[in-house]
Structure 1
Amino acid sequence: MKFLFSILLFFSLGFASEELVLDSANSFITTMRGARNAPIKELIEQSKATIIFPSVKKVGFVVGGMGGDGIMVVGNINSPSEILPVSISGGSIGIQLGYEDSSLVLFIFKDSIIHDIKDAKITLDTKLSVAFGDIGRNYSKVSDFKFSSDIYAYAANDGFFAGASFGGAVISAKEEILKQNGYAYEQLIASASKLLGD
Protein backbone atom coordinates (compact mmCIF):
# COMPACT_ATOMS: atom_id res chain seq x y z
CA MET A 1 0.00 0.00 0.00
CA LYS A 2 2.83 2.39 0.90
CA PHE A 3 4.54 1.52 -2.37
CA LEU A 4 1.40 2.34 -4.36
CA PHE A 5 0.99 5.61 -2.47
CA SER A 6 4.62 6.52 -3.22
CA ILE A 7 4.08 5.89 -6.94
CA LEU A 8 0.90 7.99 -6.98
CA LEU A 9 2.68 10.79 -5.12
CA PHE A 10 5.59 10.69 -7.56
CA PHE A 11 3.32 11.00 -10.59
CA SER A 12 1.15 13.71 -9.00
CA LEU A 13 4.24 15.80 -8.27
CA GLY A 14 5.41 15.27 -11.83
CA PHE A 15 2.09 16.46 -13.27
CA ALA A 16 2.11 19.47 -10.92
CA SER A 17 5.59 20.44 -12.14
CA GLU A 18 4.54 20.06 -15.78
CA GLU A 19 1.50 22.23 -15.17
CA LEU A 20 3.63 24.91 -13.48
CA VAL A 21 6.04 25.03 -16.43
CA LEU A 22 3.17 25.17 -18.93
CA ASP A 23 1.39 27.92 -16.97
CA SER A 24 4.69 29.82 -16.81
CA ALA A 25 5.18 29.55 -20.58
CA ASN A 26 1.70 30.93 -21.26
CA SER A 27 2.09 33.69 -18.66
CA PHE A 28 5.46 34.71 -20.09
CA ILE A 29 3.90 35.30 -23.51
CA THR A 30 0.83 37.09 -22.13
CA THR A 31 2.79 39.35 -19.79
CA MET A 32 5.48 40.38 -22.25
CA ARG A 33 3.04 40.91 -25.14
CA GLY A 34 1.31 43.42 -22.88
CA ALA A 35 4.57 45.29 -22.29
CA ARG A 36 4.63 46.84 -25.73
CA ASN A 37 7.50 49.25 -25.11
CA ALA A 38 9.74 46.68 -23.46
CA PRO A 39 13.04 45.84 -25.18
CA ILE A 40 12.02 42.18 -25.22
CA LYS A 41 14.80 40.90 -27.49
CA GLU A 42 17.48 42.56 -25.37
CA LEU A 43 15.90 41.42 -22.10
CA ILE A 44 15.76 37.80 -23.28
CA GLU A 45 19.25 37.78 -24.77
CA GLN A 46 21.14 39.72 -22.09
CA SER A 47 19.52 38.61 -18.83
CA LYS A 48 21.25 35.95 -16.74
CA ALA A 49 17.96 34.31 -15.73
CA THR A 50 14.21 34.76 -16.10
CA ILE A 51 11.79 34.18 -13.24
CA ILE A 52 8.14 33.66 -14.17
CA PHE A 53 5.29 33.61 -11.67
CA PRO A 54 1.98 32.71 -13.40
CA SER A 55 0.04 33.99 -10.41
CA VAL A 56 1.14 36.31 -7.60
CA LYS A 57 -1.65 37.22 -5.22
CA LYS A 58 -1.59 40.45 -3.21
CA VAL A 59 -4.01 40.86 -0.32
CA GLY A 60 -4.19 44.02 1.75
CA PHE A 61 -6.07 45.38 4.73
CA VAL A 62 -3.67 47.63 6.70
CA VAL A 63 -1.26 44.68 6.79
CA GLY A 64 -0.62 43.33 3.32
CA GLY A 65 0.89 40.17 1.97
CA MET A 66 1.67 38.47 -1.30
CA GLY A 67 2.68 35.06 -2.52
CA GLY A 68 3.01 32.84 -5.55
CA ASP A 69 4.85 29.92 -7.15
CA GLY A 70 6.79 29.93 -10.39
CA ILE A 71 9.97 28.88 -12.13
CA MET A 72 13.46 30.30 -12.57
CA VAL A 73 14.97 29.68 -16.00
CA VAL A 74 18.75 29.94 -15.64
CA GLY A 75 20.56 31.13 -18.75
CA ASN A 76 18.90 32.10 -22.01
CA ILE A 77 15.27 31.00 -22.07
CA ASN A 78 15.83 29.60 -25.59
CA SER A 79 18.39 27.11 -24.24
CA PRO A 80 18.40 27.14 -20.43
CA SER A 81 21.06 25.42 -18.36
CA GLU A 82 18.48 24.50 -15.72
CA ILE A 83 14.95 25.23 -14.56
CA LEU A 84 14.06 25.46 -10.87
CA PRO A 85 10.73 25.88 -9.06
CA VAL A 86 10.69 29.05 -6.96
CA SER A 87 8.28 30.93 -4.72
CA ILE A 88 7.78 34.57 -3.76
CA SER A 89 6.34 35.78 -0.48
CA GLY A 90 6.28 38.95 1.54
CA GLY A 91 4.30 41.43 3.52
CA SER A 92 4.09 45.15 4.20
CA ILE A 93 2.34 47.56 6.52
CA GLY A 94 0.56 50.66 5.27
CA ILE A 95 -2.62 51.99 3.72
CA GLN A 96 -3.61 49.18 1.41
CA LEU A 97 -6.93 47.56 0.70
CA GLY A 98 -8.14 44.91 -1.67
CA TYR A 99 -7.01 41.88 -3.60
CA GLU A 100 -5.01 41.60 -6.80
CA ASP A 101 -3.75 38.68 -8.84
CA SER A 102 -1.26 39.02 -11.66
CA SER A 103 1.44 37.15 -13.48
CA LEU A 104 4.92 38.51 -12.80
CA VAL A 105 8.09 38.23 -14.90
CA LEU A 106 11.52 39.14 -13.51
CA PHE A 107 14.62 39.43 -15.69
CA ILE A 108 17.74 38.94 -13.55
CA PHE A 109 20.95 40.67 -14.60
CA LYS A 110 23.34 39.62 -11.82
CA ASP A 111 24.82 36.15 -11.35
CA SER A 112 25.04 36.71 -7.59
CA ILE A 113 21.23 36.98 -7.37
CA ILE A 114 20.86 33.61 -9.09
CA HIS A 115 23.39 32.02 -6.72
CA ASP A 116 21.62 33.46 -3.67
CA ILE A 117 18.24 32.13 -4.82
CA LYS A 118 19.71 28.69 -5.56
CA ASP A 119 21.58 28.54 -2.26
CA ALA A 120 18.56 29.42 -0.16
CA LYS A 121 16.65 32.61 -0.76
CA ILE A 122 17.05 36.29 -1.53
CA THR A 123 15.28 39.29 -0.08
CA LEU A 124 14.48 42.17 -2.41
CA ASP A 125 15.82 45.11 -0.43
CA THR A 126 17.52 48.46 -0.97
CA LYS A 127 20.78 46.73 -1.91
CA LEU A 128 19.18 45.64 -5.18
CA SER A 129 17.96 47.98 -7.89
CA VAL A 130 14.61 46.87 -9.30
CA ALA A 131 12.91 48.58 -12.24
CA PHE A 132 9.13 48.07 -12.38
CA GLY A 133 6.57 48.35 -15.13
CA ASP A 134 6.71 49.55 -18.69
CA ILE A 135 10.46 49.92 -19.04
CA GLY A 136 11.60 51.53 -22.27
CA ARG A 137 8.65 53.89 -22.72
CA ASN A 138 10.91 56.96 -22.90
CA TYR A 139 13.29 55.54 -25.48
CA SER A 140 12.82 56.33 -29.15
CA LYS A 141 14.90 53.33 -30.19
CA VAL A 142 15.52 50.04 -28.44
CA SER A 143 19.24 50.49 -29.13
CA ASP A 144 19.18 53.53 -26.82
CA PHE A 145 18.19 51.35 -23.88
CA LYS A 146 20.85 50.75 -21.22
CA PHE A 147 20.37 48.07 -18.58
CA SER A 148 21.40 49.64 -15.29
CA SER A 149 19.19 47.77 -12.82
CA ASP A 150 19.74 44.36 -11.24
CA ILE A 151 16.17 43.21 -11.93
CA TYR A 152 13.54 44.27 -14.47
CA ALA A 153 9.96 43.40 -13.48
CA TYR A 154 6.80 43.21 -15.58
CA ALA A 155 3.23 42.29 -14.59
CA ALA A 156 0.19 41.47 -16.72
CA ASN A 157 -2.00 43.63 -14.48
CA ASP A 158 -1.12 47.28 -15.17
CA GLY A 159 -2.10 48.31 -11.65
CA PHE A 160 -0.13 45.59 -9.92
CA PHE A 161 2.85 47.84 -9.17
CA ALA A 162 0.71 50.81 -8.07
CA GLY A 163 1.56 51.54 -4.47
CA ALA A 164 3.46 48.27 -4.31
CA SER A 165 6.42 47.84 -2.06
CA PHE A 166 8.47 44.81 -2.95
CA GLY A 167 10.99 45.65 -0.24
CA GLY A 168 11.20 42.62 1.98
CA ALA A 169 9.72 40.26 -0.60
CA VAL A 170 11.54 36.94 -0.51
CA ILE A 171 12.28 34.72 -3.51
CA SER A 172 13.36 31.19 -2.65
CA ALA A 173 14.13 28.06 -4.65
CA LYS A 174 12.76 24.62 -3.93
CA GLU A 175 14.96 21.55 -3.75
CA GLU A 176 14.04 20.25 -7.18
CA ILE A 177 15.31 20.61 -10.73
CA LEU A 178 12.57 20.47 -13.34
CA LYS A 179 13.06 18.18 -16.31
CA GLN A 180 14.08 19.71 -19.60
CA ASN A 181 11.95 17.66 -21.95
CA GLY A 182 8.31 17.00 -22.66
CA TYR A 183 5.46 19.14 -23.93
CA ALA A 184 5.55 21.80 -21.19
CA TYR A 185 9.29 22.35 -21.64
CA GLU A 186 8.88 22.65 -25.41
CA GLN A 187 6.18 25.28 -24.91
CA LEU A 188 8.46 27.22 -22.57
CA ILE A 189 11.27 27.25 -25.13
CA ALA A 190 8.80 28.18 -27.87
CA SER A 191 7.46 31.10 -25.82
CA ALA A 192 10.60 33.16 -26.38
CA SER A 193 10.55 32.42 -30.11
CA LYS A 194 6.91 33.49 -30.32
CA LEU A 195 7.70 36.80 -28.64
CA LEU A 196 10.75 37.48 -30.78
CA GLY A 197 8.81 36.54 -33.89
CA ASP A 198 5.88 38.92 -33.16
Structure 2
Amino acid sequence: MPGYLGPVKPLVTPGVYAPQDDTNLLAGALSEEPLHAGADVLDVGTGTGALALQAARRGTRVTAVDLSWRAVCTARVNSWLTGLPLHVRQGNLFAPVRGRRFDLILSNPPYVPAPAARPPRHGAARAWDAGGDGRLVVDRICREAPALLRPGGVLLLVHSALSDPDRTLGHLHGAGMKAAVTRRRHIAFGPVLRSRADWLRGRGLMSAAAGKEELVVVRAELPF
Protein backbone atom coordinates (compact mmCIF):
# COMPACT_ATOMS: atom_id res chain seq x y z
CA MET A 1 0.00 0.00 0.00
CA PRO A 2 1.49 3.38 -0.93
CA GLY A 3 2.28 6.00 1.66
CA TYR A 4 0.01 9.01 1.87
CA LEU A 5 1.33 11.56 -0.60
CA GLY A 6 -1.58 13.97 -0.20
CA PRO A 7 -3.70 15.26 -3.04
CA VAL A 8 -2.12 16.55 -6.23
CA LYS A 9 -1.82 20.33 -6.12
CA PRO A 10 -3.97 21.36 -9.08
CA LEU A 11 -4.52 24.58 -10.94
CA VAL A 12 -7.65 26.26 -9.55
CA THR A 13 -9.68 28.45 -11.88
CA PRO A 14 -12.40 31.00 -11.00
CA GLY A 15 -15.75 29.45 -10.21
CA VAL A 16 -14.35 25.95 -9.56
CA TYR A 17 -14.29 24.46 -6.05
CA ALA A 18 -10.76 24.64 -4.66
CA PRO A 19 -9.44 21.60 -2.74
CA GLN A 20 -10.03 22.10 0.98
CA ASP A 21 -10.19 20.09 4.20
CA ASP A 22 -12.80 17.71 2.83
CA THR A 23 -10.61 17.02 -0.21
CA ASN A 24 -7.63 16.27 2.04
CA LEU A 25 -9.68 13.99 4.28
CA LEU A 26 -10.91 11.99 1.30
CA ALA A 27 -7.39 11.92 -0.16
CA GLY A 28 -6.16 10.25 3.01
CA ALA A 29 -8.87 7.61 2.74
CA LEU A 30 -8.01 7.06 -0.93
CA SER A 31 -4.36 6.46 -0.03
CA GLU A 32 -5.41 3.52 2.17
CA GLU A 33 -7.27 1.67 -0.60
CA PRO A 34 -5.24 -1.24 -2.05
CA LEU A 35 -5.88 -0.36 -5.71
CA HIS A 36 -4.26 -2.51 -8.36
CA ALA A 37 -2.77 -1.01 -11.51
CA GLY A 38 -5.49 -0.74 -14.12
CA ALA A 39 -8.34 -0.55 -11.61
CA ASP A 40 -11.31 1.46 -12.84
CA VAL A 41 -11.95 4.54 -10.70
CA LEU A 42 -14.79 7.07 -10.93
CA ASP A 43 -14.53 10.53 -9.35
CA VAL A 44 -17.99 12.14 -9.22
CA GLY A 45 -18.01 15.91 -8.77
CA THR A 46 -14.34 16.11 -9.64
CA GLY A 47 -13.93 19.91 -9.49
CA THR A 48 -10.28 20.62 -10.27
CA GLY A 49 -9.58 16.89 -10.59
CA ALA A 50 -7.35 16.76 -7.50
CA LEU A 51 -8.62 13.40 -6.25
CA ALA A 52 -8.88 11.93 -9.73
CA LEU A 53 -5.25 12.82 -10.34
CA GLN A 54 -4.18 11.22 -7.06
CA ALA A 55 -5.87 8.00 -8.18
CA ALA A 56 -4.33 8.27 -11.66
CA ARG A 57 -0.80 8.51 -10.34
CA ARG A 58 -1.28 5.03 -8.87
CA GLY A 59 -1.71 3.61 -12.35
CA THR A 60 -5.51 3.35 -12.32
CA ARG A 61 -7.90 4.18 -15.16
CA VAL A 62 -9.83 7.23 -13.97
CA THR A 63 -13.08 8.70 -15.23
CA ALA A 64 -13.92 12.09 -13.74
CA VAL A 65 -17.38 13.66 -13.96
CA ASP A 66 -18.66 17.12 -13.12
CA LEU A 67 -21.83 19.06 -13.86
CA SER A 68 -19.86 22.28 -14.34
CA TRP A 69 -18.20 22.86 -17.70
CA ARG A 70 -15.67 25.10 -15.93
CA ALA A 71 -14.72 22.19 -13.69
CA VAL A 72 -14.51 19.81 -16.66
CA CYS A 73 -12.18 22.17 -18.50
CA THR A 74 -10.08 22.73 -15.37
CA ALA A 75 -9.71 19.01 -14.71
CA ARG A 76 -8.67 18.46 -18.33
CA VAL A 77 -6.06 21.20 -18.07
CA ASN A 78 -4.73 19.71 -14.82
CA SER A 79 -4.53 16.30 -16.48
CA TRP A 80 -2.43 17.83 -19.25
CA LEU A 81 -0.24 19.84 -16.86
CA THR A 82 0.56 16.83 -14.68
CA GLY A 83 0.81 14.27 -17.46
CA LEU A 84 -1.66 12.06 -15.58
CA PRO A 85 -4.37 10.64 -17.85
CA LEU A 86 -8.01 11.35 -16.99
CA HIS A 87 -11.14 10.73 -18.99
CA VAL A 88 -13.23 13.78 -18.01
CA ARG A 89 -16.94 13.88 -18.80
CA GLN A 90 -19.56 16.58 -18.28
CA GLY A 91 -22.87 15.49 -16.80
CA ASN A 92 -25.15 15.08 -13.81
CA LEU A 93 -23.64 12.60 -11.36
CA PHE A 94 -23.68 9.11 -12.89
CA ALA A 95 -25.51 9.92 -16.12
CA PRO A 96 -22.33 9.92 -18.29
CA VAL A 97 -21.28 6.45 -17.06
CA ARG A 98 -24.51 4.46 -17.06
CA GLY A 99 -23.89 0.80 -17.80
CA ARG A 100 -20.28 0.84 -16.62
CA ARG A 101 -18.82 -0.74 -13.48
CA PHE A 102 -15.99 0.51 -11.28
CA ASP A 103 -13.64 -0.80 -8.62
CA LEU A 104 -13.74 2.48 -6.70
CA ILE A 105 -16.07 5.47 -6.67
CA LEU A 106 -14.94 8.72 -5.05
CA SER A 107 -17.21 11.64 -4.26
CA ASN A 108 -16.93 14.97 -2.51
CA PRO A 109 -20.46 16.16 -3.34
CA PRO A 110 -22.43 19.26 -2.33
CA TYR A 111 -23.53 18.59 1.27
CA VAL A 112 -24.06 21.90 3.09
CA PRO A 113 -27.63 22.48 4.34
CA ALA A 114 -29.06 25.59 2.71
CA PRO A 115 -32.21 27.70 3.21
CA ALA A 116 -33.22 27.21 -0.43
CA ALA A 117 -34.99 23.89 -0.96
CA ARG A 118 -33.58 23.52 -4.46
CA PRO A 119 -29.86 23.72 -5.28
CA PRO A 120 -28.59 26.69 -7.27
CA ARG A 121 -28.48 26.20 -11.02
CA HIS A 122 -25.48 28.48 -11.55
CA GLY A 123 -22.49 29.87 -9.68
CA ALA A 124 -19.94 28.55 -7.23
CA ALA A 125 -22.57 27.61 -4.61
CA ARG A 126 -23.50 24.60 -6.76
CA ALA A 127 -20.39 22.98 -5.28
CA TRP A 128 -21.71 23.06 -1.70
CA ASP A 129 -25.43 23.92 -1.34
CA ALA A 130 -27.60 20.78 -1.12
CA GLY A 131 -31.10 21.65 0.08
CA GLY A 132 -32.55 22.04 3.55
CA ASP A 133 -30.94 18.93 5.04
CA GLY A 134 -27.81 18.89 2.88
CA ARG A 135 -28.71 15.52 1.37
CA LEU A 136 -30.08 16.24 -2.11
CA VAL A 137 -26.95 14.84 -3.76
CA VAL A 138 -25.76 12.50 -0.99
CA ASP A 139 -29.03 10.56 -1.10
CA ARG A 140 -28.76 10.15 -4.87
CA ILE A 141 -25.23 8.81 -4.51
CA CYS A 142 -26.38 6.31 -1.87
CA ARG A 143 -29.18 5.11 -4.19
CA GLU A 144 -27.26 4.97 -7.45
CA ALA A 145 -23.62 4.16 -6.64
CA PRO A 146 -24.07 0.48 -5.63
CA ALA A 147 -25.26 -0.45 -9.13
CA LEU A 148 -22.07 0.99 -10.62
CA LEU A 149 -19.67 -1.01 -8.44
CA ARG A 150 -18.14 -4.37 -9.24
CA PRO A 151 -18.33 -7.05 -6.52
CA GLY A 152 -15.77 -6.02 -3.91
CA GLY A 153 -15.89 -2.42 -5.16
CA VAL A 154 -15.72 0.50 -2.77
CA LEU A 155 -17.48 3.85 -2.43
CA LEU A 156 -15.60 6.60 -0.58
CA LEU A 157 -17.86 9.55 0.23
CA VAL A 158 -17.06 12.65 2.28
CA HIS A 159 -19.64 14.96 3.80
CA SER A 160 -20.46 16.98 6.90
CA ALA A 161 -21.90 15.60 10.11
CA LEU A 162 -24.54 18.31 9.64
CA SER A 163 -25.97 16.19 6.82
CA ASP A 164 -26.50 13.06 8.96
CA PRO A 165 -23.89 10.32 8.41
CA ASP A 166 -26.11 7.78 10.18
CA ARG A 167 -28.69 8.25 7.43
CA THR A 168 -25.97 7.67 4.84
CA LEU A 169 -24.95 4.44 6.56
CA GLY A 170 -28.57 3.32 6.77
CA HIS A 171 -29.13 3.82 3.05
CA LEU A 172 -25.94 1.97 2.14
CA HIS A 173 -26.64 -0.91 4.51
CA GLY A 174 -30.10 -1.13 2.97
CA ALA A 175 -28.45 -1.51 -0.44
CA GLY A 176 -26.55 -4.53 0.85
CA MET A 177 -23.21 -2.76 1.37
CA LYS A 178 -20.82 -2.98 4.29
CA ALA A 179 -20.48 0.65 5.39
CA ALA A 180 -18.82 2.58 8.19
CA VAL A 181 -17.39 6.00 8.98
CA THR A 182 -13.63 5.53 8.64
CA ARG A 183 -12.30 9.08 9.09
CA ARG A 184 -13.38 12.16 11.01
CA ARG A 185 -11.98 15.65 11.28
CA HIS A 186 -13.18 18.78 13.07
CA ILE A 187 -12.52 22.06 11.27
CA ALA A 188 -13.32 25.68 12.00
CA PHE A 189 -16.42 27.07 10.33
CA GLY A 190 -15.73 28.56 6.94
CA PRO A 191 -17.50 31.64 5.57
CA VAL A 192 -20.51 29.68 4.28
CA LEU A 193 -21.36 28.09 7.63
CA ARG A 194 -20.60 31.27 9.54
CA SER A 195 -23.05 33.16 7.34
CA ARG A 196 -25.90 30.71 8.03
CA ALA A 197 -25.10 29.69 11.63
CA ASP A 198 -28.29 31.23 13.03
CA TRP A 199 -30.39 29.42 10.40
CA LEU A 200 -28.66 26.10 11.19
CA ARG A 201 -29.29 26.57 14.90
CA GLY A 202 -32.92 27.39 14.20
CA ARG A 203 -33.28 24.15 12.24
CA GLY A 204 -31.73 22.19 15.12
CA LEU A 205 -28.78 21.17 12.96
CA MET A 206 -26.21 22.88 15.16
CA SER A 207 -25.98 23.58 18.88
CA ALA A 208 -25.61 27.09 20.22
CA ALA A 209 -22.12 26.24 21.49
CA ALA A 210 -20.87 24.70 18.25
CA GLY A 211 -17.82 26.40 16.80
CA LYS A 212 -16.51 23.69 14.53
CA GLU A 213 -17.81 21.44 11.78
CA GLU A 214 -17.17 17.71 11.73
CA LEU A 215 -16.31 16.11 8.39
CA VAL A 216 -16.61 12.35 7.88
CA VAL A 217 -15.56 9.84 5.26
CA VAL A 218 -17.97 6.97 4.70
CA ARG A 219 -16.48 3.81 3.22
CA ALA A 220 -18.93 1.32 1.73
CA GLU A 221 -17.97 -1.98 0.12
CA LEU A 222 -20.13 -4.14 -2.14
CA PRO A 223 -19.70 -7.79 -1.06
CA PHE A 224 -18.52 -10.42 -3.53
TM superposition score normalised by structure 2: 0.25
Hey, which of these two has a bigger chunk of strand by percent? 1
Q: Which has the higher contact order (CA 8 A, sep 6+)?
A: 1
